Amino acid sequence: MPIKTFQPRTPSLRFTQLVDYSELTASKPEKSLVRGKHSSGGRNNRGRVSTLNVKRGGGHKRRYRDVDFKRRKDGIVARVKTVEYDPNRSCFISLVAYEDGEKCYILSPHGIKIGAKIVSGARTEPDPGNCMEIGYIPQGLQVHNIEMRPGQGGKIARGAGAYATVQGRDGDHVIVLLPSGESRKVNYRCRATLGQLSNLDHFNVHIGKAGRHRWMGKRPRVSGNSKNPCDHPMGGGNDHTGGGRQPCDAFGRITKGRRTRKPRKPSNSMIVRSRRGRMSIVGPTATA
């Protein structure tokens, strides 16, 4: 999709860049595959804020599209009917119709055309949109919607323009290079979809004004330095003084540079090389 720019008729339009959705083929979703979506705005059943600094609320009302992340209808050919916008994710989705009459939504790969045929199975042709076990995908191909455990459904590389690269086989595992730069082992029976995801120009979008963020359900976030001392460790003082300590959250925990991943997470053993370029202590080195 191309990027759409505007003449600076107003200050907010001067730097605005949006994705041109004119090439999408459907304006309304499949009614049988959508359901209502409730927005809590960070409030509990009593109407009180139960999450700290989660500035979400308001925005345009959305309907959730049920997307098939598992792709378990093996051997049944499906035909692509539409390429649609989904307000709940950054990439586009496609409505596919199987030969047995069932319809479902899938993440739309880049370059897929209306009328294209796709199929799922343990081993299929390595064409964009086909879903198969990652152990049978040739080395060097791009994949997305990768499972972390067989049958769990795709978890990795699901954003706009995202893809992972199959690097090689290591016993019962396949080593993939993730968008973050991390190399990770995945069980060879986990499924992945061939190709790169759609909406490659998503990273070129410039929101342009605060109102568009409000349409998306994003509210302003107040910095701790602007609060009172009773509300934040860095609050108070005259002229927004720094406070003489490292930046922290409302509970005093360091916010800049603090590791947020659990040090003993079970899936750490599957990391071959971290996104910071360090080799894993537990996992073996990647071999093609």
> In this structure, how many other beta carbons lie within 10 angstroms of the beta carbon of residue 270?
18
Confidence (pLDDT) at 122:
92
pLDDT-based confidence at 288, cuts 50/70/90?
very low
- Tokens standing for residue 252: 């005093």
Please list the alpha-helical segments (H only) found in the chain: 210-215
pLDDT of 176: 97
pLDDT at 276: 85
Q: Rounded to whole angstroms, how far apart are CA atoms 93 and 207?
A: 22
| pLDDT over threshold 60, residue 282 | no
User: Which helix (DSSP H) or strand (DSSP E) does residue 73 occupy?
Assistant: none
Q: In this structure, are residues 221 and 55 in contact, taking their beta carbons and an 8 Å threshold?
A: yes
**H/E stretch holding 165:** strand 164-170
Question: Which pLDDT score, from 0 to 100, does residue 120 have?
Answer: 96
Helices (H) and strands (E) in the chain, counts: 1, 17
Residue 52 scores a pLDDT above 90: no
pLDDT at position 208:
94
Residue 100: which of 124, 73, 81 has the closest Cα? 73
* Cα separation values, 98 from 74, 80, 264, 279, Å: 11, 9, 43, 44
- pLDDT on residue 205: 96
pLDDT at 287 over 80: no
Amino acid at 63: R
How big is the chain by its Cα radius of gyration, in Å? 23
The pLDDT tens digits for 98-151 are: 999 999 999 999 999 999 999 999 999 999 999 999 999 999 999 999 999 999
**pTM for the whole thing?**
0.88
What domains does the chain contain, in order, with CATH numbers? 3-36+61-201+261-273 (2.30.30.30)
The pLDDT value given to residue 284: 44
Q: Which residues pair with 142 in a beta bridge?
A: 165
pLDDT of amino acid 280:
64
Q: What is the pLDDT of residue 168?
A: 93
Strands (E), 153-245: 154-156, 164-170, 173-177, 183-187, 191-194
What percent of the chain shows pLDDT beyond 70?
Answer: 96
On average, the pLDDT of the chain sits at: 91
Residue 83: pLDDT over 50: yes
Beta-bridge mates of residue 131: 120, 193
Which token pair is 205? 């979008």
pLDDT in tens, 185-238: 999 999 999 999 999 999 999 999 999 999 999 999 888 889 999 999 999 988
* Three-state DSSP class for residue 241: coil
Residues 169-175, mean pLDDT to the nearest whole number: 94
Largest Cα–Cα distance in the chain? 70
* Angle subtended at Cα 262 by Cα 256 and Cα 268, rounded to the nearest 5 degrees: 120
- β partners of residue 68: none
Q: For residue 104, what is the DSSP state? A: E
With beta carbons less than 8 A apart as the criterion, state whether 134 and 156 touch. no
Which two structure tokens, joined as six digits, stand for 116?
Answer: 């294209």
% of the chain exceeding 90 in pLDDT? 74
pLDDT band, residue 286 (cuts 50/70/90): very low
